[in-house]
């Protein structure tokens, strides 16, 4: 790791520092940086690698099910995502989706659910997915149309989900559907749906600029046992938000990993690139940009690890996680863009590190709540905290 000073910040403990340094050494030996032409196969292989090496233990909660601890350690998750992102965007994705896809089971699953799924997810033997978004219901969860109707000891699912990461390769999906206990977000429930269940199909595979498995799902009279419901009926929005509260901060951490890698590449490029009898780094314009990049990264890192530390103390972090995600993803986009500019024409050559980072960072400003949604969340929390004036 080129700069490990931040590992000594008071938000982190000795075990976190050891974790980050061990993973960095492991990733340097085992993780390829480039995009693979067969992204499905690459993702499956990465999940198995991460599971076999023990890193996925940190993505699930419950030592009885193979987790590293009984509760998910947010700081550990963030450090793992940041470190993996610095090496490979797809490796970060593979780790993150094992956590996000099974997070609701960790938080709300029955003992039977946890025994059945978490152990396999933590070992990399089963791939998980989180199916919340729909064609007309992304940030506006209350607009969800996918419905589940109770029929004896089963729910019958009908509808579609889209932009589902790991769609098409996952073994288990946490699916949110309207069950109608109340209007809007209060009438949604969460379910575990196994791949291959009758009435469940992959309607479309979706290609995006940074390759990873993505799909549109379709449910047609798909029968799911009541025992696979997570939490109580009508608690689905609560289940989704609790899961996202754990992992939204880790999106900021992944952005930090991308940004740090971009700064490393920019420093190497500008100190070696000859121009007008000097190096590119000798020019004040370059120095000013490098200073902005480094300062932005540290500011984003402080917000990220503050939010992670607060959550590990059992505190509510809705506002802090939103601040971290907004700042880290927007900053990383700026840092990576600046790095591409410093590389000149080489910066837009396919599979150059900075070109790859340029494609990988873009989706982080959208998924798990777009930047504009984070701004709304922050403002809503501020207004709720405001003391009424007389």
Inter-axis angle of helices 111-123 and 39-52, to 10 degrees?
Answer: 100
3-state secondary structure the chain: CCCCHHHHCCCCCHHHHHHHHHHHHHHHHHCCCCCCCCHHHHHHHHHHHHHHCCHHHHHCCCHHHCCCCCCCCHHHHHHHHHHHHHHCHHHHHHHHHHHHHHHHHHHHCCHHHHHHHHHHHHHCCCCEEEECCECCECCCHHHCCCEEEEECCEEEEEEEEEEEECCCCCCEEEEEEECCCCCHHHHEEEEEEECCCCCEEEEEECCCCCCCCEEEEEEEEEEEEHHHEECCCCCHHHHHHHHHHHHHHHHHHHHHHHHHHHHHHHHHHHHHCEECCEEHHHCHHHHHHHHHHHHHHHHHHHHHHHHHHHHHCCCCCHHHHHHHHHHHHHHHHHHHHHHHHHHHHHHHCCCCHHHHHHHHHHHHHCCCCCHHHHHHHHHHHHHHHCCCCC
CB of 101 closer than 8 Å to CB of 190: no
Q: Which of 355, 368, 372, 381 is catalytic?
A: 368
Residues 6+ apart with CB under 8 A from 97: 127, 128, 129, 130, 165, 166
Residue 385: active-site member: no
Rounded CA separation 232/186 (Å): 11
99, 77 contact by CB (below 8 A): yes
Tally the residues of the chain. Answer: 390
Q: Which residues are annotated as catalytic?
A: 368
């Amino acid at each position: 790791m080129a700069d490990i000073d931040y590992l000594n910040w008071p938000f982190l403990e000795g075990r976190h520092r050891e974790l980050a340094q061990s993973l960095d050494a492991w990733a340097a030996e085992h993780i390829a940086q480039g995009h693979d032409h067969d992204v499905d196969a690459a993702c499956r292989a990465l999940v198995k690698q991460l599971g076999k090496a023990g890193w996925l233990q940190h993505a699930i909660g419950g030592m009885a099910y193979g987790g590293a601890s009984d509760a998910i350690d947010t700081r550990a998750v963030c450090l793992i995502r940041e470190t993996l992102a610095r090496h490979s965007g797809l490796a970060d994705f593979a780790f993150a989706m094992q956590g996000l896809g099974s997070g609701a089971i960790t938080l709300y699953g029955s003992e039977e659910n946890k025994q059945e799924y978490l152990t396999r997810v933590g070992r990399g033997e089963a791939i998980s997915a989180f199916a919340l978004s729909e064609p007309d219901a992304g940030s506006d969860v209350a607009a969800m149309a996918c419905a589940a109707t109770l029929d004896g000891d089963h729910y019958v699912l009908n509808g579609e989900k889209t932009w589902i990461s790991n769609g098409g390769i996952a073994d288990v999906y946490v699916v949110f559907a309207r069950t109608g206990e109340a209007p809007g977000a209060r009438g949604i429930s969460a379910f575990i749906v196994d791949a291959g269940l009758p009435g469940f199909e992959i309607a479309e595979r979706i290609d995006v600029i940074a390759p990873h498995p993505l799909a549109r799902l379709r449910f047609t009279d798909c029968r799911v046992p009541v025992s696979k419901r997570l939490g109580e009926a009508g608690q689905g929005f609560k289940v989704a938000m609790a899961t996202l509260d754990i992992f939204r901060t880790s999106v900021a951490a992944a952005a930090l990993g991308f940004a740090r890698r971009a700064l490393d590449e920019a420093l190497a490029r500008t100190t070696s690139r000859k121009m007008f009898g000097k190096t590119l780094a000798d020019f004040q314009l370059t120095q000013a940009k490098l200073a902005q990049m480094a300062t932005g990264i540290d500011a984003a890192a402080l917000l990220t690890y503050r939010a992670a530390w607060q959550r590990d103390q059992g505190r509510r972090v809705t506002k802090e996680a939103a601040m971290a995600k907004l700042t880290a993803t927007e900053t990383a986009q700026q840092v990576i863009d600046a790095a591409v500019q410093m590389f000149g024409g080489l910066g837009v050559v396919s599979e150059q590190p900075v070109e790859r980072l340029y494609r990988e960072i873009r989706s982080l400003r959208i998924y798990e709540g777009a930047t504009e949604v984070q701004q709304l969340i922050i403002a809503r929390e501020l207004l709720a905290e405001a003391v009424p004036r007389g």
